[in-house]
Chains A and B, each alone.
Chain A
Amino acid sequence: MTNPSPASPAAPSVQASGVSITGLNKSFGSNHVLKGIDLTVAPGEVVCLIGPSGSGKSTLLRCVNLLEVPDSGTVTVGGFEATDEDVDLNAMRRHVGMVFQHFNLFPHLTVLENCTVAQVKVLHRGKAESADVAKANLERVGLAGMEGRYPDQLSGGQQQRVAIARALSMDPQLMLFDEPTSALDPETVGEVLAVMRRLAGVGMTMLVVTHEMSFAREVADRVVFMDGGVVVEQGPAAQVIGNPQQPRTQDFLARVLNPTDVEF
């Protein structure tokens, strides 16, 4: 409110927060999905979570902003002890942007309204300022001029970029991506990854669940391989993807990187 300059949100500087996860357990009924996960993400770091489906990657990501409530363990985001019963979850979530596999744009609102509704209702920003912030972020994801469209008038890639702009409009200090390109047509995957690459370039803390190994190798500071609810292996992207040490990681990467070589 003090700085109405529309250029500020697009400025390439981010106040980044880290994440610290210790001893995280989560079960759905008898299905023990996360088995004592420890993971830290430093401010400004880009961490990619990879692993077979059902390994608990998405559940772990959803535990970071408490969309799933862990059974035990702690999650600390910035200054917020997210797993503390008394913490103001809504205040915590304002600092954590989330991008979903299926976009989850609000279909009854325009592109601009998608990006302003939470600014107005949650941050209590003025309408004009919210619109300025939203427009700057839409421009940032390459969607200037689309403000008046409705989500169903956009391609999947465009919708996902609106979802990123929507999250960025809250000035998050951490971004969570839950398989952001898995529901996209192959030809629109690139435009979404390009936006994420640029975001990583300006120092945003990012925790990304992905199957895009080339993206992980190129953009991630660290790659975490999960299987069966535990972190099997982690390290620099080049090491985990290029020279994995654990047999399970080797096996998974062999199947993902050379899908035609799989022996049955």
Chain B
Amino acid sequence: MSENQPGGAPVPQPGPDAGPAQATPRGPDAVRPGGARRRRRISLGIQAAVFVAAIIAVLLAVDWQTVGESVFNFAAVAPMFPDIILIGFGNTLLYTATSFAVGLVGGIVLALMRMSAFPPYRWLATVYTEFFRGVPALLVFLAFGYGVPFAFGVQWPIPVVVMASLGLVSAAYISETLRAGLQAVPKGQYEAARSLGMPGWRAMVTIVIPQAFRLVLPPLTNEVILLTKDSSLVYVLGLAAHEFELTKFGRDGITALGAGLTPVLVAGLMYLIITVPLSLLARRFESRGAGRSRS
């Protein structure tokens, strides 16, 4: 902590005269100017020692042969390919993309309702948002996967169930993100646009929404990451082989292949292939958005 505070370290001083004036607020360090630097060096040394000790302990304690057989047994999971990519990876992408599409459209509608001048729209949107942010996504899956067929006698195909369940849940989160983004654009932007003679819709489309879009890109990308992972919840429903996604492949692999945890590890790596680039993308949006977000 203290390493990052320039005030704590003996910063190069502008000149000998500046010394006494700056010394007072630095307290004990002023007496012994090398104190802060020495303490920082000791702290770093302790951290390094703990790190090395932990690594040695892990190397000694772990039974590497067992780990090799049941976690990194990649030879034994060969039968998972190419289906885990062609079906599992593909279905995870499909479930994520369709539910994000539903969530985005629903989120836009809900955000507009939240900002409507007609109070019942606002109430409705608030109730919806609070409900779907407050219940577990798993429960929504059960409702659409088992509840709807029971109640109405219609059995939707699994991709539709996923699209509806995750889409409805994510719409609640996305609407809040969009609303925050629109409200984060300063009111003066809208006023400046109106004062140039733009109608309200034109001011929104040309001036406010493009700025809000930059602000919401990082959180929207994070929402896609969450959806990618939440699509695994579909495993609680009975799936046909062509509907399997990554988690289902990983789970079935545990019992079928005798490779211990390896199938789960493989599935996990597949998720990372999707989520890590998205995460990097979100970070790039963040740093780019920061440059031009203020007037």
Contact = CB atoms under 8 A, between A and B. Distances in A.
Interface in B18-65: none
Interface in A75-132: 90-91, 93-94, 96-98, 100, 102-108, 117-118, 121-123
B196 A122 contact: yes
Interface residues of B, number: 23
B191 A121 contact: no
A117 B207 CA distance: 9
Q: Chain A interface: which size bin?
A: 20 to 34
Contacts of B214: 108
A90 B211 contact: no
B293 A107 contact: yes
B191 A93 contact: no
Interface stretch (B166-174, B198-206, B226-234): B198-206
B191 A151 contact: no
Nearest to B211: A108
A166 B196 contact: yes
| Main SS class of interface, B | helix
A122 B192 CA distance: 13
B188 A108 contact: no
A122 B197 contact: yes
Contacts of A254: none
A167 interface: yes
Contact of B295 (A67, A107, A167): A107
Given A121-B206, A150-B292, A152-B291, A106 B197 contact: no
Interface in A22-37: none
B195 A98 contact: yes
B194 interface: yes
A91 B188 CA distance: 20
A65 B191 CA distance: 11
A118 B198 contact: yes
A117 B195 contact: no
B79 to A, nearest CB: 52
- Residue of A67, A104, A123, A152 with most chain B CB atoms under a 10 A cut-off: A104
Nearest to A170: B196
Contacts of B188: 100, 102, 104
Nearest to A122: B197
Contact of A100 (B191, B211, B291): B191
A90 B191 contact: no
- Residue of A98, A118, A123 with most chain B CB atoms under a 10 A cut-off: A118
Contacts of B295: 102-107, 151-152
Nearest to B292: A107
Nearest to A98: B195
A117 B197 CA distance: 11
B189 A106 contact: yes
B189 A93 contact: no
A91 B197 contact: yes
Contacts of A118: 193, 196-198
Contact of A104 (B192, B199, B202): B192
Contacts of A67: 191, 194-195
Nearest to A169: B196
Contacts of A102: 188, 295
Nearest to B213: A108
Given A121-B206, A152-B291, A104 B189 contact: yes
Given A67-B191, A104-B295, A106-B189, 14 more contacts: A67-B194, A94-B197, A98-B192, A98-B195, A100-B188, A104-B186, A106-B207, A108-B211, A108-B214, A108-B292, A117-B196, A118-B197, A152-B292, A152-B294
13 contacts: A65-B195, A90-B197, A90-B198, A93-B197, A98-B192, A98-B195, A100-B192, A102-B188, A108-B214, A108-B292, A122-B202, A152-B292, A167-B195
Interface of B: 186, 188-189, 191-199, 202, 206-207, 210-211, 214, 291-295
